[in-house]
Amino acid sequence: MAKRKKSKKVEETWDGFSTFLTSKGLRVTGQRRGIFDALFEEDGHFTAEQLLVHARNLDDTVSRATVYRSLPLLVESGVVREVDVGHDNKFYTVNLNSENFKAQVVCLDCDTIYEVDAPFMEWYGKTVSEKLGLDVQDQRLQVRAECTQFQHLGSCDRNK
């Protein structure tokens, strides 16, 4: 697979993630770099298994275990966001442009995830928590809906 030139933002994010790993006493390895680079090959939301496939296309030494151990670190460092749609799989998305709180609308049939800006939710969570003397650790808004294809056909071809 041809290597794409990495953007300055991606390299800055890699530098930050490398520093994060080192601060936790973890090694910066070629497999972790392959996984990191694969993140930026993904379109939209992806599962750990999809990330594994893309990472192995970049570095065939990437193991399933390393992907599953790296994802919580990527979430903790803020490089990716985890999106739980209530099934066995969790979905992830790169978190480079997180200027606004995101809410998810998830199709009931195909689990396609649509993200919408919801800055009012961040304000609401902080305001309510402060009044109660609590410190917000996590907040999410998720709506389950029927996509247009599901509405018209009764199922989604993306669900195959």
User: pTM value?
Assistant: 0.68
Q: What is the pLDDT of residue 160?
A: 52
Element (H, E) at 62: none
Span 22-47, pLDDT tens digits: 999 999 999 999 999 999 888 888 99
Cα separation of 160 and 156, whole Å?
8
CATH of domain 1-96: 1.10.10.10
Which has more pLDDT, 131 or 151?
A: 131
Q: What is the pLDDT of residue 88?
A: 72
Cβ–Cβ under 8 Å, residues 67 and 52: yes
CATH-assigned architecture of domain 99-160: 2-Layer Sandwich (3.30)
Q: How far is CA 83 from CA 7, 86, 89, 105, 154, in A?
A: 25, 9, 9, 11, 25
Q: What is the pLDDT of residue 148?
A: 79
Span 88-139, pLDDT tens digits: 778 888 876 555 677 777 777 777 777 777 777 778 888 888 888 888 766 6
- pLDDT of residue 57 exceeding 90, the answer is yes
Which has more pLDDT, 61 or 148?
A: 61
The domains of the chain are located at: 1-96, 99-160
